[in-house]
């Protein structure tokens, strides 16, 4: 992964030549052909940066020794930092967020493929609507977590992460453009709320929530002890998402500016819940000792609780975003 | 604010001269005289970077025009981006987190002063214990939010934030060292849990929680409608903190590695709750239309809900951090 983002100046030496792409006065519409595909592409870029940051931090944490861990019962001397609980928490967070974002991107790509290749027109249409619904999640969530993961990668490296030798800081710099370009993540959230939730009269999002509920029902029914608190955390997140989606549907009509004020936490809530469901679906297909089970459980118990908070913020936070409409706070 | 952090090499041209500071073989103890003061100093550095990033983003958001906001009813043309709800959410988050961190740092500094200047020995001792309890919060929370706030500052600037002209990116680079040096934020969390919670047999933290409870009781009793959901959000956060503190006290004895695994979310939980209580205490002294009321309410309704999630993660997340003690996940 690398990011060639830079400032470019055209026309300094005697002018630059412009070429018309598509029809005259149809520039924005023409650009959006590129843009819609690019949004998923940027999401994948986020997954790529996050994956690289994770691999590099993991390798460093196995090599770098400092202090003596609880687990240490081998030869004398200091432990590799991967044995310290707080470092494990960071590495597991990196792995779990990266995997959740990857699965959201793959789910989006799959719907694109079905939407273009399925024999049946109705199947194609449903898939294209699903892809449209998931695209803002794929773009915004993946690039937000790319920054969180790359920042954790710097932290795992300690002082060696801040200086340049390890490459950890470069991932964070590369990640930082991703929530900005191809439509900022704020724009993605507004797109999700104002254009994607109302798709097909709400049928697209309703069918998606039903699919997540089915996965979570299967997790509950499996009664697998190695899942720990995964079933209840998934259920809490889904309940929060369902309630917040209903709030959004009503608020879009009654107080559209409030819906916009809560769009960003809503996008995060939907992404976290979807990611948790996908990880759990993967875990259901595995043996108890599988790393996929461990990651899904870690995600459910340590990351997914955020969904409840987000559901509260979506439903009762908008007024205090807007309360100062002309106000003293920004004086 | 600026950070002169760099790599330095000594002794390349014929050797460097070392000087003994303090007694021989007492280097670490000697260094900690500097280190304890430095931790609060680094927390203040975090507040400073966050404040600069906020001021710069606010100025840019008032000037930069894009799209048409709901509030727009003035002259034709595009609105300053500060009028868009999602941008307001970012700016309010920046202001609220910065102010919460500042109040935690000031509370810590106040206890230091009392601890060194009070006439009464008992008062001095209690203040020094309180200062010791709050120092890891002042260092870790302030520097974590410095990164969150500086990153939001880049986002408010859009593409202009990623390139160098605006200075927004420099704040993020300056902020990134702060969670690393003078004891990483992971070390601060471990210090809080293993050394500070047990101070004076638990009396220090118990007295502190009682003080937060008193503030929150006053907020509830005030019945001020402009506080919105502030009373209930503060109460939920305090309940989460009380429960998680008890869990920590018991787990430190029964399963110390699990306490270490939950140390980082515990530090965040305690900091968020303390910050919310301090903001509310300030709001209680103000008129309904005061910006301090607006910020305290925004914080309670949009940021503080995270406390509940953290309390869940502290109490039921540790097992999945440790489950893979020798494991496949990191293979």
Could you read off the pLDDT of B98-115 as tens digits, one per residue?
999 999 999 999 999 999
Collapsing DSSP states into helix, strand and coil, what is residue A65?
strand
- Residue A229's nearest CA partner among B313, B170, B87, B242 is B313
Whether the pLDDT of residue B1 is over 60: the answer is no
Q: Where are the alpha helices (DSSP H) in B8-84?
A: 27-63
Q: What is the pLDDT of residue A324?
A: 66
Whether the pLDDT of residue B325 is over 70: the answer is no
Going by the DSSP 8-state scheme, the letter that residue B323 receives in this structure is T
| Nearest residue in chain B measured CA to CA from A236 | B309
For residues B294-314, average pLDDT: 97
| B147, B159, B260 member nearest A85 (Cβ) | B260
For residues A79-88, average pLDDT: 95
| Nearest residue in chain B measured CA to CA from A174 | B162
| B90, B155, B308 member nearest A308 (Cβ) | B308
Q: What is the pLDDT of residue B12?
A: 84
Q: Which residues of B are catalytic?
A: 182
Whether the pLDDT of residue A301 is over 60: the answer is yes
Whether the pLDDT of residue B124 is over 90: the answer is yes
Look-up of token digits 């500060």: B82
Interface test with B, best of A86, A98, A149, A169 (most B CBs within 10 A): A86
Q: Kindly report the nearest CA distance between residue B201 and chain A, in angstroms.
A: 24
* pLDDT band with cut points at 50, 70 and 90 for residue A48: very high
- Tell me if B301 and A322 make a contact (CB, 8 A cut-off): no
CB contact at 8 A, A119 and A68: no
Q: What is the pLDDT of residue A6?
A: 82
Q: Kindly report the nearest CA distance between residue A19 and chain B, in angstroms.
A: 24
Whether the pLDDT of residue A114 is over 90: the answer is yes
Q: What is the pLDDT of residue B73?
A: 63
How far apart, in whole angstroms, are the C-alpha atoms of residue B311 and residue B265?
A: 8
Question: Percent of chain B beyond pLDDT 90?
Answer: 82
- Tell me if A309 and B308 make a contact (CB, 8 A cut-off): yes
Which range is least confidently modeled, A91-100, B24-33, B253-262? B24-33
Residues of B in contact with A292 (CB under 8 A): none
For residues B206-227, average pLDDT: 97
- Tell me if B158 and A179 make a contact (CB, 8 A cut-off): no
Whether the pLDDT of residue A174 is over 70: the answer is yes
Residue B294 CB partners (closer than 8 Å, separation 6+): A320, A323, A324, A327, A328, A329
Q: What is the pLDDT of residue A72?
A: 65
For residues B86-103, average pLDDT: 98
The more confident residue out of B204 and A26 is: B204
Residues of A in contact with B172 (CB under 8 A): 176
Whether the pLDDT of residue B54 is over 80: the answer is yes
Residues of B in contact with A87 (CB under 8 A): 186
For residues A284-288, average pLDDT: 95
Residue A325, φ and ψ in degrees, nearest 5: -55, -30
How far apart, in whole angstroms, are the C-alpha atoms of residue A278 and residue A261?
A: 28
For residues A191-202, average pLDDT: 97
| Nearest residue in chain B measured CA to CA from A187 | B86
Q: What is the CA radius of gyration of chain A?
A: 22
How far apart, in whole angstroms, are the C-alpha atoms of residue A161 and residue A185?
A: 27
- Tell me if A301 and B324 make a contact (CB, 8 A cut-off): no
| Nearest residue in chain B measured CA to CA from A7 | B163
The more confident residue out of B165 and A59 is: A59
Which range is least confidently modeled, A151-155, B69-73, B81-85, B204-208? B69-73
- Tell me if B90 and A172 make a contact (CB, 8 A cut-off): no
Residues of A in contact with B297 (CB under 8 A): 320, 323
Q: What is the pLDDT of residue B14?
A: 81
Residues of B in contact with A70 (CB under 8 A): 256-257, 260
* pLDDT band with cut points at 50, 70 and 90 for residue A74: low
How far apart, in whole angstroms, are the C-alpha atoms of residue B329 and residue A53?
A: 16
Contacts 24+ apart (CB under 8 A), B217-221: B218/B281, B218/B284, B219/B280, B219/B283, B219/B284
* pLDDT band with cut points at 50, 70 and 90 for residue B168: very high
Whether the pLDDT of residue B35 is over 80: the answer is no
Interface test with B, best of A95, A279, A317, A319 (most B CBs within 10 A): A317
Interface test with B, best of A88, A140, A291, A327 (most B CBs within 10 A): A88
Residues of B in contact with A180 (CB under 8 A): 154-155, 158-159, 161-162
For residues B265-291, average pLDDT: 97
CB contact at 8 A, B150 and B50: yes
Q: What is the pLDDT of residue B324?
A: 66
Which range is least confidently modeled, A6-10, A89-93, B41-45? A6-10
* pLDDT band with cut points at 50, 70 and 90 for residue B21: confident
Residues of A in contact with B312 (CB under 8 A): 233, 305, 308
- Tell me if B305 and A310 make a contact (CB, 8 A cut-off): yes
Q: What is the pLDDT of residue A300?
A: 98
B215, two tokens = 């503030």
- Tell me if B302 and A71 make a contact (CB, 8 A cut-off): no
Which range is least confidently modeled, A100-104, A184-188, A245-249, B22-26? B22-26
Collapsing DSSP states into helix, strand and coil, what is residue B80?
strand
Q: What is the pLDDT of residue A75?
A: 61
How far apart, in whole angstroms, are the C-alpha atoms of residue B59 and residue B102?
A: 21
The more confident residue out of A10 and A47 is: A47
Whether the pLDDT of residue A33 is over 80: the answer is no
CB contact at 8 A, B69 and B96: no
- Residue A102's nearest CA partner among A54, A50, A52, A149 is A50
For residues A9-32, average pLDDT: 85
For residues A155-163, average pLDDT: 94
Q: Where are the alpha helices (DSSP H) in chain A?
A: 27-63, 85-117, 121-157, 159-162, 168-176, 185-191, 203-222, 230-254, 256-261, 263-284, 291-298, 306-316, 318-322
- Tell me if A264 and B289 make a contact (CB, 8 A cut-off): no
| A233, A263, A329 member nearest B95 (Cβ) | A329
Total residue length of chain A:
331
| A86, A163, A184 member nearest B264 (Cβ) | A86
Report in angstroms the alpha-carbon separations of B87 from A190, B60, B152.
Answer: 12, 11, 10
| Nearest residue in chain B measured CA to CA from A82 | B330
Say what angle helices B85-117 and A263-284 make with each other, to 10 degrees: 90
Whether the pLDDT of residue B75 is over 70: the answer is no
Question: Percent of chain A beyond pLDDT 90?
Answer: 82
A140, two tokens = 């915004």
A159, two tokens = 């002082």
Query: Which listed residue (A182, A226, A232, A312) is catalytic?
Result: A182
């Amino acid at each position: 992964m690398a990011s060639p983002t830079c400032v470019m100046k055209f026309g300094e030496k005697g002018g630059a030549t412009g070429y018309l792409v598509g029809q005259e006065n149809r520039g924005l519409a023409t650009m959006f052909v590129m843009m819609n595909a690019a949004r998923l592409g940027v999401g994948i870029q986020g997954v790529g940066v996050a994956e690289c940051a994770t691999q590099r931090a993991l390798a460093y944490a196995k090599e770098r020794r400092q202090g003596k861990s609880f687990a240490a019962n081998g030869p004398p001397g200091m432990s590799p930092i991967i044995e310290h609980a707080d470092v494990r928490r960071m590495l597991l967070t990196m792995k779990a967020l990266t995997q959740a974002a990857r699965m959201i991107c793959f789910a989006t790509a799959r719907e694109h493929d079905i939407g273009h290749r399925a024999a049946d027109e109705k199947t194609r249409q449903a898939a294209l609507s699903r892809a449209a619904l998931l695209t803002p999640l794929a773009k915004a969530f993946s690039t937000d977590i790319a920054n969180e993961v790359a920042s954790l990668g710097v932290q795992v490296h300690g002082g060696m992460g801040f200086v340049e030798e390890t490459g950890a800081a470069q991932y964070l710099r590369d990640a930082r453009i991703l929530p900005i370009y191809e439509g900022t993540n704020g724009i993605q959230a507004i797109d999700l709320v104002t254009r994607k939730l109302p798709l097909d009269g709400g049928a697209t999002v309703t069918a998606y929530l039903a699919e997540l509920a089915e996965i979570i029902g299967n997790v509950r029914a499996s009664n697998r002890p190695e899942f720990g608190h995964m079933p209840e955390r998934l259920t809490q997140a889904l309940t929060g998402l369902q309630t917040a989606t209903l709030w959004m549907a009503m608020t879009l009509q009654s107080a559209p500016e409030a819906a916009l004020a809560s769009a960003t936490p809503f996008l995060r809530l939907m992404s976290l819940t979807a990611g948790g469901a996908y990880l759990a679906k993967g875990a259901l297909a595995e043996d108890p000792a599988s790393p996929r089970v461990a990651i899904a459980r870690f995600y459910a118990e340590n990351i997914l609780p955020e969904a409840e908070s987000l559901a509260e913020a979506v439903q009762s936070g908008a007024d205090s975003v807007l309360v100062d409409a002309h106000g003293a706070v920004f004086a």
